[in-house]
């Protein structure tokens, strides 16, 4: 097995993901970009390769569909003998309701089910490398709510709140993964990076123009990448796991994200929707006191 550490960055072809990949390449990591669009991914891979650091590879997968998540996981398992860092950066803020496979809402899959399924499907590599997993989150989770019957299909879709809902679903499960991996010494933490100038949440029409004008005042993606990279390298939290960081400061989760009973239900539902086996307990979720 190669001694060069490997980092997988989802949504690594642009925005914060690209900036994270850039920093990890400069730190000597072999970086694997996971992108939905092959052409854009190849453009990013080529630009990163020109930095003169370690090797940069590309895996293609559409994380808005569970079939795409599985295909991406298979490609990563085939090409990555080790995974030392996994950065879940890919995410969407939808402006309209889009349903995909099995009638699941697109943001629910991308923001919540995709990281959940990848954690399970890549688990052998994560465990063998004692990896660090970083979940790029959003402080808007505090405005989210989870309706187990309606949220998966977008029956409660809202162009502003759905992003918060799906980020909350994802964040509820970070402590459960931390418990699942505690003996294996795999660390997982979530971070809300500073608001930066990316394409997330872009809209058409007048609202879109206003948003783009406002974004011109925001910091560049590199500023958003910095706290993600610090967690990935263990600089912000060497032995901490299952925690939430607001930029560089470890912060207690709001009560809405500390609902243990709801987290157990969200975990069990995610297993079922992702067609993953229930192994940890009768409910499929680790028990958290």
pLDDT (tens, 9 = 90+) of the chain, 289 residues, equals 467 999 999 999 999 999 999 999 999 999 999 999 999 999 999 999 998 777 899 999 999 999 999 999 999 999 999 999 999 999 999 989 999 999 999 999 999 999 999 999 999 999 999 999 999 999 999 999 999 999 999 999 999 899 999 999 999 999 999 999 999 999 999 999 877 545 554 445 545 544 454 545 456 667 889 999 999 999 867 789 999 999 999 999 999 999 999 999 999 999 999 999 976 443 456 764 4
DSSP state of 238: S
- Alpha-carbon distance values, 198 to 37, 91, 202, 221 (Å): 17, 12, 9, 7
Q: What is the pLDDT of residue 286?
A: 72
- SS3 breakdown of the chain: % helix, strand, coil, rounded to 5? 45, 15, 40
Catalytic residue set: 163
The SS3 of residue 190 is: strand
Which residues are registered as beta bridge partners of 226?
A: none
- The pLDDT value recorded for residue 211 is 42
Say how far residue 24 (Cα) sits from the centre of its chain: 17
Beta bridge partners of 133: 86, 188
> At how many degrees (to 10) do helices 260-273 and 161-172 cross?
100
The token pair at 2 is 């190669």
| End-to-end C-alpha distance for the chain, whole angstroms | 38
User: What is the structure's pLDDT at 198?
Assistant: 55
Tokens of 287: 């028990």
Give CATH for domain 6-259.
Answer: 3.40.50.720
Q: Give the separation between CA 42 and CA 23, rounded to whole angstroms.
A: 18
Q: Give the angle subtended at the CA of 13 by the CAs of 240 and 22, to the nearest 5°.
A: 60
pLDDT at position 186: 97
The order of strands in the sheet holding 56-60 is: 56-60, 30-35, 6-10, 85-88, 132-136, 187-192, 243-246, 249-250
Residue 122, helix vs strand vs coil: coil
- Rounded distance, CA 262 to CA 30, Å? 38
pLDDT of residue 223: 80
């Amino acid at each position: 097995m190669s001694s060069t550490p490997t980092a997988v960055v989802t949504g690594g072809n642009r925005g914060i993901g690209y900036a994270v990949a850039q920093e990890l390449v400069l730190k000597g990591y072999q970086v694997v970009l996971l992108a939905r669009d092959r052409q854009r991914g190849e453009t990013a891979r080529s630009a990163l390769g020109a930095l003169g650091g370690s090797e940069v590879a590309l895996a293609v997968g559409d994380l808005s569909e569970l079939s795409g998540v599985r295909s991406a996981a298979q490609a990563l398992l085939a090409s990555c003998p080790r995974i030392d860092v996994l950065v879940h950066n890919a995410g969407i803020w939808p402006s309209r309701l889009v349903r995909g496979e099995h009638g699941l809402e697109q943001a629910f899959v991308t923001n919540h089910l995709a990281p959940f399924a990848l954690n399970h499907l890549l688990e052998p590599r994560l465990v063998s490398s004692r990896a660090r997993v970083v979940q790029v989150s959003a402080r808007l989770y505090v405005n989210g709510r989870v309706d187990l019957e309606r949220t998966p299909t977008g029956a409660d879709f809202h162009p502003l709140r759905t992003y918060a809902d799906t980020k909350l679903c994802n964040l509820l499960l970070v402590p459960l993964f931390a418990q699942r991996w505690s003996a294996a010494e795999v660390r997982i933490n979530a971070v809300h990076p500073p608001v930066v100038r990316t394409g997330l949440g872009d809209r058409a029409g007048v609202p879109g123009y206003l948003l783009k004008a406002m974004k011109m005042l925001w910091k560049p993606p590199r500023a958003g990448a910095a706290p993600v990279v610090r967690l990935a390298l263990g600089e912000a939290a060497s032995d901490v796991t299952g925690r939430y960081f607001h930029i560089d400061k470890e912060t207690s989760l709001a009560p809405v994200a500390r609902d243990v009973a709801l987290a157990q239900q969200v975990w069990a539902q995610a297993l079922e929707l992702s067609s993953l086996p229930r192994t940890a307990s009768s409910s499929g979720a680790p028990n958290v006191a």
